[in-house]
Chains A and B, each alone.
Chain A
Amino acid sequence: MAAKSTIRSEGGKVRRVIVVGGGLAGLMTVIKLCEAKVPVDLISLVPVKRSHSVCAQGGINASVNTKGEGDSPQIHLEETAYGGDFLANQPPVKGMAEAAPGIVFMLDRMGVPFNRTPEGLLDFRRFGGTLFHRTAFAGATTGQQLLYALDEQVRRYEIADVVDEHGVSIPGEKMVRKFEFWDFLQAVLDDSGTCVGCVAQDLKTMQIKYFQGDAVVLATGGNGIIFGRSTMSVICTGTAASSVYQQGAVYANGEFIQVHPTAIPGADKLRLISESARGEGGRVWVPKDAKDQRNPKEIPEKERDYILERMYPGYGNLVPRDIASRAIFKTCFHEKRGVFNPKTGRNENEVYLDLTHKDEKFLRSKLAGILEIYEKFAGTDPYHNPMKVFPAVHYSMGGLWVDFEKDARGSLKAGSPRNHATSIPGLYAVGEVEYQYHGANRLGANSLLSCIYGGMVTGPSVASYQKSLAKSAFDLPKSIFEKAEKRCQDDYGRILKQNQDDKGAENPYKLHQELGDMMLRDVTIERDNATLEGVLTKISELDERVKKVACPDGSQRSNQGAQFVRHLENMLVLARVIAQGAKNRDESRGAHYKPAFPKRNDADWMRTTLAKHEQKGAVKYLREFDYTCAGQSVHVTDAVDASLVTPRERKYEQAGAASAAATGKIQQPAASEQQKSV
């Protein structure tokens, strides 16, 4: 029997749900929960306005079809499934593609300053893996603008009272309570293994405390920091995902890591230059003569090799990211034809990304945000000089396994408590931390969409779950929470104390650099089983050495050293899941490419990698498992639901190949469009 009130527990406490992470996915979940009258505690590592979503640049996909091209959500679904090399379960993708136009309109109503057409309508631009103009954008800082819009809406709920069933405000209780600068440590599980809250640490005072919650939603983002430097923010260590994985949550498709083709190398970070640069006409090239020393502007058109247009005439510079990254890697690494640097006397790992044929005013209105980044960090004016870029780790397609329930149309069943549920009852995941929408390769401008759509689904899903509970987490014995809190306090104490007197103790930052350098070198664009075997051995070695780490800081205030040791320990666990998953998968699919197994192998590998934590240093890969959701037992297998778009080989050489509906409709191949001037 469900509890009497969803607002108050038996003991009279306000029943809250916990959302961890305040990027787009977390904030959208919070808004949907508040609309469903569920009060929320929002826990975030940073003030939510500084979450990694701010870094998204190019835009958000929605088949609004304002350009009369015949675009539709059906084509969006087909191209997303195709771009993801048929590893994504298709019902959630269908739900997302169908909801996309409504999502963009909602953001428009929230005041996002989307670029406009002369008629005052939303403007759309092209992105990878499609021939349609499907991407709405606000300059080249779309993620920032979307995050701010949701942040502003959540702020309204910070001052809104919690209202009980009789319409009476509950004194002192607001719909959203924010806990910023708090680090998620662990989920609190009751005796039946149901998630009933979490333990977190205040990063200013270092206080560790438990939070009760009828459900916990993780919206904690990706894990690029495992690869040392990436395009991700320094907070994207994957620590929360790793922590609940170690508590039993199944982790899916970890080996699928997106490498973005165009980033600016840097000492601390690889800064993204958005795909929108190519969407607006940017062209990737290297000199035909590998030893050409001329200024790029002096190299005539016919002496340039526009590698992507040559290799993939159908989609040109807008092939999906996995394909573009491999082409650039091949050119620079295998053929040694990267841009020649007379100073170093060698061909650098760099190609030109050229926008200089475009009008400066046009570029300023559509791409200023990213061109500013290039100008500031590379020190060259990209309006008049081709940029120099190279691929960088960008996004984790893999993540916590989450469930979905489909309706009769093959889309997501609205309000089902199974949607976005992890394998731990009461624990949900949304945004980049989960694996659901992108298969083996994410299309550009689908990530903002999947975060917001995920939030729109997760809010109602968690509200349904809460309604199904016989007993609120707030009515459980305190001892469950105190035990979990004590465990986390002890672990923190261990980190502070261990190896302090050991002269040969390890520095956690140096250890992280070793991990990152190896992961970046050996587990990204090209993968090889012997090399991966070495990576796993090295991870085992690092697992031992991390025990020898001495926390470099003994302070009880803002102890970032202790926090980093914890994140490093958690990164090592996920690094193994990624590397072992890559080693197991003997095929090439999307972002996962093994030269020794160059073909996709649907017979053996069109299946989800399901990783389960056994103990430190051991991963078990499952073919099936059972979990419980809202009292109902669900059987899960690794089979991919491809009921909507028939799997076939990807052929981006051919225009329109990504969607049967699009084939032949667009007469204008990408390459000729690139040459049109504004």
Chain B
Amino acid sequence: MANSDSKGTGRLVHLRVKRQDGPDLPETKRWEEFKVPYLPQMNVISALQQVQKEPRTVDGKDVAPVVWESSCLEEVCGACTMVINGRVRQACSALVDQIAPNGEVIQVEPMTKFPLVRDLIVDRERMFQDMKKVKAWIDIDGTHELGPGPRESPEAQQERYPLSRCMTCGCCVEACPQYNDSTQFVGPFALNLVRLFNMHPSGALHKNARLETVMGEGGVQDCGKAQNCVEVCPKEIPLVDSIAQVSRDATKRLLFGWLLK
């Protein structure tokens, strides 16, 4: 088996972590710094894991270990999203050798667009609720045997698949100037899902119902075209194209929809 006792080289990794004990405890907001032993192939997650083993700040103060959300550690579940050195991303794919090759301080903060839970954990429930709002699914009749789905060309599949890799991580909405707790904007990821399901042959049967969910307040016209979303998407989903497509379809629906009634 792989050697698990991969010892460090005496090199230390320096973390600066923004902490807060709970949503209703703003007085506990603080920065804490930790230095932990370097390990080969280390990422921000393994640095935080080292803090769990020796939860002591650089000032020698014993503290509770930092808490954060994580699951797969291979950038496919979206759980460990946080703001690292000012950029929103997954902590698992933030490799120490790349972000702090010479022992620079690594600054870690929670995302800012969602209610804080504690330390680096925020509550992204709003995203899941908005997936209900935009009807992000195919309306199948049931799971009993009904034969194969509709045929699809390899080209269409290759266009649809990248849109389907959205892991609801929240990077796009964190970077979006239009998304905050005083707006209803569903955000780039949700508009991308509208495009994704409208592209599918069965999904297209409910294309208008889906479009109508993003034609009012909080819908596609709330996009300010800053294009930050596509810059930060870890899965390189063409979010701006998706928004443009949904916007065109929504406009068409708005202009000509009454003709079809």
Chain A contact residues, CB within 8 Å of chain B = 28, 31-32, 35, 46-47, 49-52, 54-55, 102, 105-106, 108-111, 113-122, 138-139, 141, 144-145, 148-149, 152-153, 155-156, 158-159, 204, 228-229, 233-235, 259, 263, 265-272, 329, 349, 365, 369, 373, 376-379, 390-393, 456, 507, 509-510, 513, 516-517, 520-521, 524-525, 552-555, 557-561
Q: Are B67 and A558 in contact (CB under 8 A)?
A: yes
Partner of B149, one of A109, A117, A119, A369: A109
Contacts A390-B2, A391-B1, A554-B64 given; indicate if A268 touches B49 (C-beta within 8 A): yes
- Near A by CB (< 8 A), chain B positions 144-184 give 145-149, 151-154, 156-158, 160-161, 164-165, 167-168
Bound-complex Cα distance A527 to B77 (A): 34
Contacts A153-B137, A373-B75, A456-B143 given; indicate if A392 touches B2 (C-beta within 8 A): yes
A234 neighbours in B (Cβ, 8 Å): 70-71, 73
Bound-complex Cα distance A528 to B158 (A): 49
Partner of A269, one of B40, B74, B200: B74
Partner of A520, one of B1, B93, B154: B1
Q: With both chains docked as a complex, state the minimum distance between the C-beta of B139 and any C-beta of chain A, in angstroms.
A: 8
Contacts A106-B145, A266-B41, A509-B52 given; indicate if A46 touches B71 (C-beta within 8 A): yes
The main secondary structure of chain A at its interface with chain B is mixed
Residue of B nearest to A229 (CB): B4
Bound-complex Cα distance A525 to B2 (A): 11
Q: Are B131 and A121 in contact (CB under 8 A)?
A: no
Contacts A35-B142, A105-B147, A113-B164 given; indicate if A349 touches B2 (C-beta within 8 A): yes
- Near A by CB (< 8 A), chain B positions 11-70 give 21-22, 39-43, 45-46, 49, 52-55, 64-65, 67, 69-70
Bound-complex Cα distance A229 to B43 (A): 14
Q: With both chains docked as a complex, state the minimum distance between the C-beta of A317 and any C-beta of chain B, in angstroms.
A: 21
Tell me whether B202 is interfacial, beta carbon within 8 Å: yes
Q: With both chains docked as a complex, state the minimum distance between the C-beta of B225 and any C-beta of chain A, in angstroms.
A: 28
Stretch at the interface among B115-123, B213-221, B246-254: B115-123
Chain B contact residues, CB within 8 Å of chain A = 1-6, 21-22, 39-43, 45-46, 49, 52-55, 64-65, 67, 69-79, 92-93, 95, 97-98, 117-119, 121, 123-124, 128, 131-132, 136-140, 142-143, 145-149, 151-154, 156-158, 160-161, 164-165, 167-168, 197, 200, 202-203
B77 neighbours in A (Cβ, 8 Å): 46, 49-51, 54-55, 233
Taking each of A35, A102, A138, A557, which has the highest tally of chain B beta carbons within 10 Å of its own beta carbon? A557
Q: Are B76 and A114 in contact (CB under 8 A)?
A: no
Q: With both chains docked as a complex, state the minimum distance between the C-beta of B7 and any C-beta of chain A, in angstroms.
A: 11
Partner of A110, one of B73, B117, B140: B140
Question: Lowest 5 CB-CB distances: which A-B pairs, in order?
Answer: A120-B151, A108-B149, A152-B137, A268-B46, A267-B39
In the complex, besides A122-B148, A159-B132, A268-B45, 15 extra interface pairs with C-beta distance below 8 angstroms are: A102-B145, A106-B145, A109-B140, A145-B161, A155-B137, A156-B137, A204-B118, A265-B3, A266-B46, A268-B92, A378-B41, A507-B54, A513-B53, A521-B1, A557-B117
Q: Are A268 and B73 in contact (CB under 8 A)?
A: yes
B151 neighbours in A (Cβ, 8 Å): 116, 119-121
Bound-complex Cα distance A268 to B42 (A): 7
Q: Can you list 13 residue pairs at the A/B interface with Cβ under 8 Å?
A: A105-B149, A106-B143, A111-B200, A115-B157, A116-B157, A120-B152, A149-B138, A152-B137, A204-B117, A229-B4, A267-B6, A377-B41, A521-B4
